[in-house]
Amino acid sequence: MSPKYGRTFHLPCSPGATSDDKIMSDLSQLLVAPEIVATEKMDGENTTIHSGGCHPRSPDARYHPSRDWMKALAAGISPQLAKDERIVGEYLYARHAIAYDALPSYFMGFAWIQGGQVQGWDDTQARFAELGITSVPQLYRGPFSNTLIDDLVAGMNFERQEGFVIRTTASFSEAEMATRLGKYVRADHVQSDIHWMKAELVKNSLA
């Protein structure tokens, strides 16, 4: 069975962190990195495509009708993947807290992992292109700065965007995820007491 994707820790200033979330305690790897990339954090279901199919973040997750589209997509991609290769992204078919009305795809990738190594951003984009996978939107690329997070926050529309993820553009091992990437999530992100899997299925829309 394919391993599940590791947790992405919250940046210390992330207002959406709850008592159950992990907070980054060390930003030094982001601060000293020659280059980082910031991407939009999409409001979907973390999903992994591997050589044997696909699964949500929890590999033993039960059936849900919204996942049929994802399984069909993975059926065309999985045969092209090596056994130690995984594509991770957000699956956006079912509406969660944010409604999307012009998605380029219901699956938007953000990581390519091979042999326990999260591959560099440029290599990841090249692999996505080979496989026909749409990447999550890139918001910024360049050095980390003292104003970067404030600048990114100022450019967000938190009525329609969940937040952003910052990572080093260089590759790193899965064991280093806690120090090489972090997320910023809007305050009060989940605004319903009913989990999306138990509510009526509402589809997001494609462009």
CATH code for position 122: 3.30.470.30
Domain assignment present for residue 94? The answer is yes
Which pLDDT band holds residue 142 (cuts at 50, 70, 90)?
Answer: very high
For residue 68, pLDDT beyond 80:
yes
* Order of strands, sheet of 36-41, starting from the edge strand that comes earlier in the sequence: 138-142, 36-41, 163-168, 181-185
Domain assignment present for residue 199? The answer is no
Domain assignment present for residue 19? The answer is no
For residue 88, pLDDT beyond 60:
yes
Cα gap 158→89, rounded to integer Å: 21
Mean pLDDT of the residues in the chain:
92
Domain assignment present for residue 4? The answer is no
- For residue 123, what are the domain limits? 28-185
**pLDDT average, residue stretch 42-56:** 94
Q: Bridge partners of 85? A: 114
For residue 59, pLDDT beyond 60:
no
pLDDT in tens, 89-131: 999 999 999 999 999 999 999 999 999 999 999 999 999 999 9
Question: At 179, which helix (H) or strand (E)?
Answer: helix 177-180
For residue 3, pLDDT beyond 80:
yes
Q: How many independent structural domains does the chain possess?
A: 1
Helix (H, G, I), strand (E, B) or coil at 60: coil
Q: What is the pLDDT of residue 194?
A: 61
Q: What is the pLDDT of residue 143?
A: 97
**pLDDT average, residue stretch 43-47:** 94
Q: What is the pLDDT of residue 193?
A: 58
Domain assignment present for residue 3? The answer is no
| Whole-Å CA distances, 140 to 73, 95, 153 | 29, 26, 12
pLDDT in tens, 161-205: 999 999 999 999 999 999 999 999 999 766 555 665 666 889 999
- Taking the alpha carbons at both ends of the chain, their separation in whole angstroms is 34
Q: What share of the chain is helix, strand, coil (3-state, %, to 5)?
A: 20, 30, 50
